[in-house]
Chain A
C-alpha cells in the first residue's frame, strides 16, 4: 500500500477528532482546521520518506496538539506585548487532553458547525467539511455548485463564528433545544439532498445520504439520551433502506408501492427499527422526527404493498400535523387519507390544502402530482391529465419529470 493512501485513510478517520480537540484549545474553528491541515501536509511530506509512525493516528493528534500549544504561547506573548486586556486566554488546563474529552470536543464541534448564526447553506457546507471530513471539491460535486462557491461559504462561515465569538461549547441553557433542532435540521438537509436530489440528472446521491447517516449515528452515540436524535437516525436508516429500490435500471424513479421490496436493505431496516424503539423508550413518541420514523417503519414492516397499515399511517400523519403543521405534512397526510379511506377522502384533503394557497405549495410539483393520482383513481381522467402536466412542468429533476410524464401516458 502506498504511504499516501495510508495517510488518506488515517486522515479521513481522525480529522474530525483532531479539529475538535484543537478547536477547544485555540477557541477558533478556522485556526484549528488550519493547524490540522498543516499536520496533514507534514505527514504527506515526511511519511513517504521516513516511513509512517507506529501509530499514525496518535502521531497526527500529538503533532496537532503541540502545534496548538505553540500557537497559543505565541499569541499569549503577542497579547502580553500589546498589553491586550479583557481577552480570555486559554490556561494550561485547556491544553490537556483526556480520551473522553475528545468525544466532548467532537460534540462541541457539531454544535458550533451547525450554529444558527450561520446561513443554512453555510451550516451544511461546514458540517460536511468539519464533521464529514469532505473536501470543498467533494461538497461542490455533491451539491452541483462550483468549488469556489463552497470554499467561500466555508471560509465565510469560519469568519462569522470568529467575529460573533461563538463559544466552543455544547449549549446547556434555554437555547439548547433550539440549538439541537438546528443540528438535526442540518443533518436531515444533507440526507434529503442525497435522497431526493433537488436538481440535476440523478435522482439520488447516495454518498450524501451516507454522510448524513454517519453524522446522525455519531450524534446518537454522543447524545444517547436525546430521543429526537434517535428519531432522526431511525428515519434516515429506514429511508436509506429503500435507496436501492427507489430507482429502476435506467435511473428512473420507482414509487414506494411499486418498489421491489426484496431490494430493501434489511440491515438498515433492523437498525432503523432499533433506533425508533430507543427514541420511543426515551419518551420521544411525539417528536417530529420520531413520528416520521414511525411512519417509515410502518412501510418497512409491510412485506407487500397490500399489507401496509394505511390507517395507522394516516393516524400518525394526523399527529405529526399537530406538532409539525407544514403544507408538506398536510400533503402527505392527504396521500395517507387517500390510501386509508379512499381517493375522495384524499382529494378532499388535498383540495383544502390547494385552496389555502400556501406560498410553499405554489410551485411544488408534488401537489398537482398527488391530485393527479387521486383524480385518476376516481376516473376523472381529463382533470388528472392536466394535473400531471402541471406537475411535470414544475419538477426540476429530470428523472422525476420523466416519471410524471410516464404516468400521463398511462392514462387512457
Chain B
C-alpha cells in the first residue's frame, strides 16, 4: 500500500533557510528508508511564489500565479512510501519530524499521512 506524506509549513519561518545539518540528517533518513526498500519517491518543492493555481470557481477557470499570500501554510515537500500499514507510515513520518525538531529548533510544520487509494479500498466501496 502506498502512502503520500505531505509536509505543510509556513514558508520563510526561522529566517527561511534551514541549517545545513538538517539537510544532511534528512538525507540520512532518506538513505535509511531507501535501504529498507520502502521509499519510492521524495522531493522538496520550490517556493509557492514560483507556483501557479488553476482554479475552478463559480463556473469559471482562472489561472493565478503564486505566492498565495492568503494561505498560512504551503506544501513544502512530499514523500511516497510503500508500506504494509498506516502505523509504519506514521513511524517514518515521526522520524522525519523528529529530525526537524532536533536540527531546526523553533521551526513548526505538519506532515500529513495520506493513504493512496488502492484495490483494497475499492473492495469496501458500496457497489
- Write the residues of chain A forming the contact surface with B, with a CB cutoff of 8 angstroms: 1, 5-6, 8-10, 12-13, 55, 57, 103, 106, 206-207, 210-211, 213-218, 221-222, 244, 267-268, 271
A-side contacts of B98, CB under 8 Å: 55
Most buried by B among A106, A218, A222: A218
B-side contacts of A221, CB under 8 Å: 31, 34-35, 37
Contact: B38 with A214, CB < 8 Å?
A: yes
Interface: B87 (CB within 8 A)? yes
Q: Encode contact with A along B36-65: 1 for CB under 8 Å, 0 otherwise.
A: 111011000000000000000000000000
Contact: B87 with A8, CB < 8 Å?
A: yes
- Other contacts beyond A6-B90, A221-B34: 9, CB < 8 A: A6-B87, A12-B91, A55-B98, A207-B84, A213-B37, A214-B82, A217-B34, A218-B37, A221-B37
Contact: B84 with A12, CB < 8 Å?
A: yes
Q: Encode contact with A along B13-47: 1 for CB under 8 Å, 0 otherwise.
A: 00000000000000000010011111011000000
Closest to B36 in A: A218
B-side contacts of A216, CB under 8 Å: 37
User: Given the known A-B contacts A1-B90, A55-B98, A206-B119, are A9 and B35 also in contact in the complex, defined by CB atoms under 8 Å?
Assistant: no
**Docked CA distance A252–B57 (Å):** 42
Interface: B108 (CB within 8 A)? no
Contact: A13 with B91, CB < 8 Å?
A: yes
**Residue from B1, B35, B88 within 8 A of A12 (CB atoms):** B88
Contact: A9 with B90, CB < 8 Å?
A: yes
Interface: B78 (CB within 8 A)? no
Smallest distance from the beta carbon of B48 to chain A beta carbons, Å?
Answer: 24
Chain A binding surface SS class = helix
Q: 8 Å CB contacts to A: which residues of B73-103? A: 80, 82, 84-85, 87-92, 95, 98
7 A-B pairs with the lowest CB-CB distances in the bound complex, closest first: A9-B87, A217-B37, A214-B37, A9-B91, A218-B37, A221-B35, A8-B87
**Docked CA distance A8–B84 (Å):** 11
Most buried by A among B87, B89, B119: B87
Smallest distance from the beta carbon of B63 to chain A beta carbons, Å?
Answer: 26
Contact: A10 with B80, CB < 8 Å?
A: no
Smallest distance from the beta carbon of A61 to chain B beta carbons, Å?
Answer: 13
A-side contacts of B36, CB under 8 Å: 13, 214, 218
B-side contacts of A55, CB under 8 Å: 98
B-side contacts of A5, CB under 8 Å: 87, 90
Closest to A132 in B: B84
**Residue from B34, B41, B85, B87 within 8 A of A267 (CB atoms):** B41
Contact: B88 with A13, CB < 8 Å?
A: yes
Smallest distance from the beta carbon of B45 to chain A beta carbons, Å?
Answer: 17
A-side contacts of B85, CB under 8 Å: 8-9, 12
